[in-house]
């Protein structure tokens, strides 16, 4: 054990788990990387065909330029959530979750390994969609560091939520229910397709307590330079939300909560 650890961290075990998670989604890259690009492209195409040029500007931007960063971030967070949740729930259902729990890995190392896979998948999806939208729409990144920061936080937050959902779920039906009734509504009701300033009071208030709104809004600021909320506030909200989710993930992994197959 001592030979495998450096600075009290099992770097070899952590690297192995992270590499396993990356190889798991790269083995089916047509579904995990190429399919999200097609989905994002279809969203943009449908809105372009449905609204045409009759749709006015939103926040001073052509509608498709306003829409594109939101579609990108929505796709990124959905893939980060899917990566961690599918890995854990599949292992639980197949009975091989012990292969992850038995090695000399701490709760923090397991958490970091799973999140590394989610971040890698989300980052690749973001890069591919950014390239596609740059070619199709001429979209440029106004503030690259802000864009990278929100993509990274989105991957960490939703990857962590994916782990929480998979730990809670005892079968695939439970996982589907969490995705359909929690994750999807939070994604779609987050200002992806509209400015929250156009919403009635109650819906606007809900948007401002939805962390996914700040991810979408922050990505829009990073790509276009405009946003509904102060990006500094959005960054703070996302950091706090990510820390809380990661902390609960770590605690449940430490006590082995609902991790038996």
Q: How confident is the model at residue 260 (pLDDT cuts 50, 70, 90)?
A: low
Which of 3-7, 71-75, 93-97, 251-255 is least confident?
A: 3-7
The answer to whether residue 235 is domain-embedded is yes
Range of the domain at 29: 2-255
The answer to whether residue 261 is domain-embedded is no
Report the phi/psi class of residue 160: left, alpha or beta, with left for phi > 0 and alpha for psi in -120 to 50: alpha
User: How far is 136 from 246, CA to CA, in rounded Å?
Assistant: 36
Which one-letter DSSP state was computed for residue 225? S
The answer to whether residue 76 is domain-embedded is yes
Which one-letter DSSP state was computed for residue 179? I
The answer to whether residue 260 is domain-embedded is no
The answer to whether residue 193 is domain-embedded is yes
Looking at per-residue confidence, does 61 or 114 come out higher?
A: 114
Could you give the angle at which helices 144-168 and 211-224 cross, rounded to 10 degrees? Answer: 160
| Whether the Cβ atoms of residue 111 and residue 165 lie closer than 8 Å to each other | no
Which pTM value belongs to this model?
0.92
| Whether the Cβ atoms of residue 174 and residue 168 lie closer than 8 Å to each other | yes
Please give the average per-residue pLDDT across 44-70, as a whole number. Answer: 84
Instruction: Specify the number of domains making up the chain.
Output: 1
Mean residue pLDDT across the chain: 90
Please give the average per-residue pLDDT across 155-182, as a whole number. Answer: 93
Q: How confident is the model at residue 7 (pLDDT cuts 50, 70, 90)?
A: low
Please give the average per-residue pLDDT across 222-231, as a whole number. Answer: 94
Range list of H helices, 60-106: 63-94, 98-101
The answer to whether residue 185 is domain-embedded is yes
Residue the block writes with tokens 């788990």: 17
The answer to whether residue 172 is domain-embedded is yes
């Amino acid at each position: 054990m001592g030979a495998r650890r450096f600075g009290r961290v099992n770097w070899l075990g952590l690297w192995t788990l992270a590499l396993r998670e990356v190889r798991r989604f790269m083995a089916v890259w047509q579904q995990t990387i190429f399919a999200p690009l097609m989905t994002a492209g279809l969203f943009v195409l449908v809105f372009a065909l449905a609204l045409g040029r009759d749709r006015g500007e939103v926040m001073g931007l052509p509608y498709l330029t306003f829409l594109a960063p939101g579609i990108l971030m929505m796709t990124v967070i959905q893939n980060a959530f899917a990566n961690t949740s599918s890995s854990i729930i599949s292992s639980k259902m197949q009975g091989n979750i012990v292969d992850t729990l038995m090695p000399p890995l701490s709760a923090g190392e397991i958490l970091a390994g799973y999140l590394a896979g989610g971040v890698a998948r989300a980052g690749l999806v973001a890069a591919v969609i950014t390239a596609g939208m740059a070619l199709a729409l001429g979209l440029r990144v106004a503030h690259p560091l802000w864009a990278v920061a929100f993509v990274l936080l989105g991957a960490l937050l939703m990857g962590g939520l994916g782990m929480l959902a998979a730990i809670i779920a005892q079968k695939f039906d439970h996982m589907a229910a969490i995705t359909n009734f929690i994750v999807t509504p939070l994604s779609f009701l987050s200002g992806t397709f509209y400015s929250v300033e156009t919403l009635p009071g109650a819906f606007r208030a809900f948007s401002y307590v939805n962390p996914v709104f700040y991810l979408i809004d922050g990505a829009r600021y990073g790509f276009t330079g405009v946003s509904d909320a102060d990006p500094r506030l959005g960054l703070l909200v996302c950091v706090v939300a990510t820390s809380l989710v990661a902390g609960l993930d770590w605690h449940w992994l430490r006590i082995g909560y609902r991790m038996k197959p």
